[in-house]
Amino acid sequence: MRYFIGNWKMFGVPKSVNILNKINSYYSRDKNRNKYRVVITPPYTLIESYSRHFKNKRVTIGAQNCYQKEHFSSNTAAISPYMLKSVGANYTLVGHSDNRGEGDTDPMLKDKVRYAIKNNLKVVFCIGENKIEKKNKKTLSVLKKQLTRVLEKKFDKNKLIIAYEPIWSIGTGKIPLAKELKKTTIYIKKILKEIFKKDSPPVLYGGSVDGSNVEMFKEIKEIDGFLIGGASKTSKKFIDIIKNYYR
């Protein structure tokens, strides 16, 4: 199974559903449709209405983050995994570099992953090195820490997806060299196999993926799909990624 996950970040109002309607109608008719899943993570404000709208359609709705407590609490503006599930979200991102940059720590991320899984959300756990770490050849050690400090063997592996997003690649048009990315993805899967003592969960790539570079990524068989930012905000760009992946 491959995944095409569109992360809208701070984008979208109710009428933006038109973008997803177009994606959904392509997806419903695509002869390759059973080989992949399309998940979109709109902002919190749209999760309930979009989840209802796509309930019996193919596109799946998720959240971009969740709070590190399970049900209700007195944390202003916080949204728990239970609350997300109750309005129809089926997935949530956890650990996006935007949120790590705003103060999400490993212990917080561990609780987010734990409570999201407990509430039957699929977790897309994001990891990635920054530019300086890459320059200092620290990529693999950074990724190992990000994985081992948060993930535990007892977490349900079937509810986890890992997204490798090098921070220097997000929104910059810069992408890793194929050789390097293959090596990194294999390494991530090796660490995951050590944690879970069996198969690795799927590993996605994210960072400046678009319709023209996806052909390069598809040569790397270890990559199970993509986390897509900018190109998920227009139906044509998003559909082009899927089309060119299966061409």
Active site residues: 96, 165
- Burial code (b: 16+ CB inside 10 Å, e: under 16) for 141-151 equals ebbbebbeebb
Q: Does 208 bind ligand 13P (CB under 6 A)?
A: yes
Shorter beta-carbon distance to ligand 13P: residue 118 or 211: 211
Q: Count residues contacting ligand 13P (CB under 6 A)?
A: 14
Q: Does 124 bind ligand 13P (CB under 6 A)?
A: no
Q: Which stretch binds ligand 13P (CB under 6 A): 76-84, 139-147, 184-192, 226-234?
A: 226-234
| CA distance linking residue 179 with residue 93, whole number of Å | 27
Taking CB atoms, the residue at the shortest distance from ligand 13P is 229
What residues from 125 to 184 belong to the interface with ligand 13P (CB under 6 A)? Answer: 165, 170-171
Q: Does 228 bind ligand 13P (CB under 6 A)?
A: yes
Shorter beta-carbon distance to ligand 13P: residue 165 or 224: 165
What residues from 42 to 71 belong to the interface with ligand 13P (CB under 6 A)? Answer: none
Q: Which stretch binds ligand 13P (CB under 6 A): 32-40, 50-58, 110-118, 222-230?
A: 222-230
Q: Does 206 bind ligand 13P (CB under 6 A)?
A: yes
Give the x/- contact pattern for ligand 13P in 86-115, rule: CB under 6 A.
----------x-------------------
Cβ–Cβ < 8 Å for 241, 206? no
- Figure out which of the listed residues 2, 3, 7, 113 binds ligand 13P, where binding follows CB under 6 A: 7
H, E, C per residue of the chain: CEEEEEECCCCCCHHHHHHHHHHHHHHHHCCCHHHEEEEEECCHHHHHHHHHHCCCCCCEEEECCCCCCCCCCCCCCCCCHHHHHHCCCCEEEECCHHHHHCCCCHHHHHHHHHHHHHCCCEEEEEECCCHHHHHCCCHHHHHHHHHHCCCCCCCCHHHEEEEECCHHHCCCCCCCCHHHHHHHHHHHHHHHHHHHCCCCCCEEEECCCCCCCHHHHHCCCCCCEEEECHHHCCHHHHHHHHHHHCC
- Figure out which of the listed residues 123, 191, 209, 223 binds ligand 13P, where binding follows CB under 6 A: 209
Q: Which stretch binds ligand 13P (CB under 6 A): 55-63, 81-89, 104-112, 202-210?
A: 202-210
Residues that bind ligand 13P in the complex, under the rule CB under 6 A:
7, 96, 165, 170-171, 206-209, 227-231
